[in-house]
Amino acid sequence: MQVAQQSPARITQAFAATTDVVTRGGTFDPSAALFHSKQYRIVNQLGEGGMGTVYQAYDPMLERNVAIKVLKPGLPTALRHRFLAEARHGARLSHPHLARVYDLGIELDTGLDWFAMEFLQGRDLETLLQRAGLRRLRLPTTLVGLVFNHVLDALQHAHDAGLVHRDVKPANIFVSRRPGQDIVSAKLLDFGVALDRRRDGDNTDICGDPRYVAPEQILGEATTDHRADIYAAGISLFEALAGWHPMESVLKQGTQALIQAHCEGELPPLSAALPKHWSPTMRSRLEDVVNIACAKQPSQRFASAATMRKALKRALRNETC
């Protein structure tokens, strides 16, 4: 589906009733199926990726802006399943630091899959880190602490619901600021490759970004669980604090070198990458948080995202940089 800037095009959804909706005497018959139809007005295109295109749209019935993600045509069935999983997991979870999914449907004219989700204004953490790096700046530690406080809280909620995200990384962490306010909020995005351990059980599929995946996830071990997300959060936290990826030296050597680094290599000391004017106590505590989160053996990591969140808050307590 091609939608131009400021296009009046609409995405229409209609749920056809399996039986006719019957009204008797002006009252609704709850035994009949409910017919629902609505339209979203496309405002502009926000971005495009390998799987789909994202638009800003307006919901005239609820009078709010939404983001519409439309799946590209002709993709393999596995990618369509990933797209639908992202929507369904997003609708299943309800948390202030997870993007809400409102609707899922098929565009009537083209047959393309789409879903409507919360419209967010801001930037993903990867973009913020890249922009800071170009200016030879570091993200404020208070901001990094707040962002990961929110992300780890969201992860705990997902884990409690039986979901393992499997793709935690700065590009999937969206940082927004409320209009006219200094209140910053972070949201964890994209549950497209999430593992539902209550339904799927053990799963040996290899997925995720090789820059952030845990050793057991790379190797496709059936024991992959929520602690793989804690590992990825630890790698992301290192990058956000230091301003560079802990495996920067092998990033250009290809996927195999990254896999070996995750499975066998040691992280560089985070304390040495942090500014010297920071207190030694804080630098040491932050390094401990990252090292525990990124332990090679899952049993040696934090037992939960909530435990890691508490450790990070303790490490940053009474410190501002």
Q: Are residues 196 and 309 in the same domain?
A: yes
pLDDT value at residue 198:
77
pLDDT in tens, the chain (321 residues): 333 334 446 676 654 444 444 544 567 777 777 666 778 999 999 988 888 899 999 999 999 999 999 999 999 998 998 899 899 999 999 999 999 999 999 887 888 899 999 999 999 999 999 999 999 999 999 999 999 999 999 999 999 999 999 999 999 999 998 766 667 899 999 998 898 877 765 555 667 789 999 999 888 766 789 999 999 999 999 999 999 999 998 988 888 899 899 999 999 999 999 999 999 999 999 999 999 999 999 999 999 999 999 999 999 986 554
Which of the 8 DSSP states describes residue 214?
Answer: -
Residue 22 lies in a domain: no
Using one digit for the tens of pLDDT, what is the confidence trace for 213-250? 999 988 876 678 999 999 999 999 999 999 999 999 89
Domain of 252, CATH number, reads 1.10.510.10
| Boundary (domain end) residue, out of 100, 118, 136 | 118
How would you list the strands of the sheet with 173-177, edge to edge?
122-124, 173-177, 184-188
Q: How many domains is the chain built from?
A: 2
Which of the 8 DSSP states describes residue 253?
Answer: G
> Which residues belong to the active site?
167
Residue 239 lies in a domain: yes
| Boundary (domain end) residue, out of 67, 99, 118 | 118
For residue 164, list its beta bridge partners.
Answer: 195
Using one digit for the tens of pLDDT, what is the confidence trace for 265-306? 999 999 999 999 999 999 999 999 999 999 999 999 999 999
**DSSP one-letter string for 150-203:** HHHHHHHHHHHTTEE----SGGGEEEEE-TTS--EEEEE---TT-EETTTT-S-
Residue 25 lies in a domain: no
- Say how many C-beta atoms besides its own lie within 10 A of residue 202's C-beta: 11
Q: Alpha-carbon distance 225 to 235, whole Å?
A: 17
| Boundary (domain end) residue, out of 103, 118, 133 | 118
Q: Are residues 126 and 270 in the same domain?
A: yes
Q: Are residues 104 and 159 in the same domain?
A: no
Q: Alpha-carbon distance 229 to 65, whole Å?
A: 31
Residue 261 lies in a domain: yes
Please say whether the beta carbons of 41 and 65 come within 8 A.
Answer: no
pLDDT value at residue 260:
92
Q: Are residues 189 and 253 in the same domain?
A: yes
What is the extent of the structural domain holding 216? Answer: 122-315
Q: Are residues 126 and 249 in the same domain?
A: yes
Q: Are residues 149 and 288 in the same domain?
A: yes
Please say whether the beta carbons of 57 and 49 come within 8 A.
Answer: no
Q: In Å, what is the CA distance from 267 to each residue of 74, 291, 317?
A: 41, 8, 24
What's the distance, Cα to Cα, between the start and end of the chain in Å? Answer: 47
